[in-house]
Amino acid sequence: MSKKKIKEIFIGSNNNGKLKEIADLLPKSLKIYSNFDFKIRSPVETGTTFAQNSLLKAKYFSKKTNKICMSDDSGIEIDILDKAPGVYSADWSGKKRNFNLAIKRVYKEIFKKDKNWKKKKITARFICVLTIFWPDGKFVSKIGKIEGRISNIKKGNNGFGYDPIFIPNGKRLTFGEMEPYKKYSIDHRSNAFKKIKKFF
């Protein structure tokens, strides 16, 4: 990978919630390209780990655009569900990416495992692997995590995806109820980003 600081980057994602959160982490002086400029379909995520899918996406978008590209593969692991939905977090929201459906499914699956779950701490974590891929084939991937629990009711309209049901350890609010800057100060994505910040 080049030692030169990155001045422009393509963010390889068709998920607008994610795109916004990645863009918010990046320096304001950076020129950001996204699918609003290029309209490239996302690749099929054939990997079985966050690391594999993150690399697969960054490489794919870099080959398509011939630009330095950053991709995120992320999701939520719920311990009582044997770490599901994990890499399939987006799939649980169906073709139309409806997260009310995904959250209903989470509640249904947890109930199947334990009828009394609302009285218990259902531990979970968000995981994110960020990859920067350079057109010369070099890449760097870093992982970030945040531990927490599943709220027994959906709360808040901020963020995206599973934010309304995730309460980070040591907090009372779900990510959906938190101000974005508060979420970014502790979340999985910013955690991974801190480890690759030096390239910008």
Q: Looking at the annotation, which residues are catalytic?
A: 73
Neighbouring C-beta atoms of residue 4, cutoff 10 Å: 7
Report the residue number whose CB is nearest to ligand IMP: 161
Site string for ligand IMP, 96-135 (x = CB under 6 A): ------------------------------x---------
One of 90, 150, 165, 167 touching ligand IMP (CB under 6 A)? 90
Which residue has 């084939």 as its token pair? 137
CA distances from 72 to 91, 173, 182 (A): 16, 25, 20
> Cβ-count burial of 83 within 10 angstroms (0-12 exposed, 13-18 middle, 19+ buried)?
middle
Query: In angstroms, what is the minimal distance from the CB of 3 to ligand IMP?
Result: 29
Q: Which stretch binds ligand IMP (CB under 6 A): 30-38, 72-80, 104-112, 136-144?
A: 72-80
Burial of 109 (C-beta count, 10 Å sphere; 0-12/13-18/19+):
middle
Nearest distance from C-beta of residue 70 to ligand IMP, angstroms: 13
12 binds ligand IMP (CB under 6 A): no
Which residue type sits at 44? V
Give the contact letters, 138-177, x = binds to ligand IMP (CB under 6 A), - = no: ---------------------xxxxx-----------x--
Question: Which one-letter DSSP state was computed for residue 131?
Answer: E
